[in-house]
Amino acid sequence: MAKMDGLSIGQVAQQVGMLPTTLRYYESIGLLPDPIRQNGRRCYDLSIFQRLEMIQTARQAGFTLAEVRVLFDDILWSDSPAAKWNDLIHCKLREMEQMLVNIQSMKHLLEDILGCDNEHLADCMLHTAQRHRQEVR
């Protein structure tokens, strides 16, 4: 068998702590460029690690794969990448703020239900849920 000049999909996956199927999926949706093939096998150069690091960082920050794709396709190579990136970040921050509001509401609802007595739990849950719906409006 001929020696490969780059890294195999298994080697890359192991080094970044991902499954090879994840790398194949990222390729299929355009997050990773198609690698060079040697003897029919994927062969990656070291630049793959920078791209994967960018994907992992964006994912940790809460960006969806579709948003990461926008970053790679529409932002990084545009005339004003900083402004477009800032817009995407501000949009994500607004989304997270709403998520935090929702989580706080869920927490308060659970705390109120926890205070119900077991004897009238169903009534208490219904009353608590109605009160919380009114507060959210």
Q: What is the pLDDT of residue 1?
A: 47
How high does pLDDT run on average in the chain?
Answer: 87
Amino acid at 78: S
Rounded average pLDDT over 13-37: 94
Beta strands (DSSP E) in 3-48 are 36-38, 41-43
Residues 30-71 pLDDT 10s = 999 999 999 889 999 999 999 999 999 999 999 999 999 998
Residue in the structure block whose two tokens are 């920050």 = 61
Q: What is the pLDDT averaged over residues 118-137? A: 74
Residue 136 has a pLDDT of: 65
CB distance 6 to 43 below 8 Å: yes
Do 42 and 28 form a contact (C-beta atoms < 8 A)? no
pLDDT in the model for residue 132: 74
In contact, 110 and 83? CB cutoff 8 Å: no
Predicted confidence at residue 48, as pLDDT, reads 95
pLDDT of residue 11: 95
Q: CA 116, CA 136: separation in Å to the nearest integer? A: 21
Question: What was the pLDDT predicted at 3?
Answer: 57
More confident residue, 89 or 78: 89
Q: Does domain 1-77 have CATH number 3.40.1000.10?
A: no
Report helix, strand or coil for 98.
Answer: helix
Residue whose tokens read 């817009």: 87
Q: What's the pLDDT score for residue 131?
A: 76
Q: Which of 54-58, 98-102, 116-120 is predicted least confidently? A: 116-120
CA distances from 33 to 12, 43, 51, 120 (A): 14, 11, 10, 59
Residue 60 to residue 71: CA distance in whole angstroms: 15
